[in-house]
Amino acid sequence: MSHDKRYVAQKRQRRRRKTAKGKVKLYEAGKITHDKLPALAKKFLSRKTRAAKKAE
């Protein structure tokens, strides 16, 4: 039973991450503004920009 619960929670989290990453792509393409991004997408975006700066 606990495995089933954990699996469902994992599925839900994966779906949230996937949609957030999709929103980041839309933002980078210029289709949506920064204030329309959900919090998780903003976190992904800041992590991505930080990694890009570090790579330079």
Q: How far apart are CA 54 and CA 32, in angstroms?
A: 26
Which pLDDT band, with edges at 50, 70 and 90, does 29 fall under?
A: very high
Q: With the CA atoms of 40, 44, 49 and 55 taken in that order, what torsion angle do they form, in degrees rounded to the nearest 10?
A: 160
At 41, list the tokens: 């997408």
Look at residue 38 in the predicted model and tell me its pLDDT: 95
Please check the confidence at residue 56 and state whether its pLDDT lies above 90. Answer: no
| Best CA proximity match to 32, nearest among 43, 23, 22, 40 | 23
Look at residue 2 in the predicted model and tell me its pLDDT: 87
Q: What is the mean pLDDT of residues 19-30?
A: 97
Torsion sign across C-alpha atoms 1, 16, 14, 51? negative
List, for residues 33-49, the tens digit of each pLDDT value: 999 999 999 999 999 99
Q: What is the pTM of this model?
A: 0.81
